[in-house]
Amino acid sequence: MAGDERFTAYCGLFCGDCIPARKSLFEVTGKLEDLLKELQFENYAELKVKTDGVFDDYPEFASVLSAIMKLQCPAPCREGGGKQDCAIRECARGKSYEGCWECDERSGCKLLASLKEFHGETIEKNLEAIRENGSGGWSGKRGKHYPWS
Q: What is the structure's pLDDT at 149?
A: 81
Q: Does residue 3 lie within any of the structural domains?
A: yes
pLDDT of residue 11: 96
Sequence-separated contacts (24+) of 121-124 with Cβ below 8 Å: 122/13, 123/11, 123/12, 123/13
For residues 123 and 9, the answer to whether their CB atoms sit within 8 Å is no
| Same domain, residue pair 11 and 24 | no
pTM for the complete prediction? 0.84
The verdict on 54 and 116 lying in the same domain is no
Residue 94 shares a structural domain with residue 132: yes
Domain tally for the chain? 2
Flag whether 103 is in a domain. Answer: yes
pLDDT for position 144 = 92
Q: Does residue 23 fall inside a structural domain?
A: yes
* Predicted local distance difference test score (pLDDT) of residue 2: 58
Q: Is residue 122 part of a domain?
A: yes
The residue ranges of the chain whose pLDDT is under 50 are none
6 plus 44 within the same structural domain: no
Residue 110's pLDDT is 95
pLDDT given for residue 78 in this prediction: 92
Domain that holds residue 35: 19-72
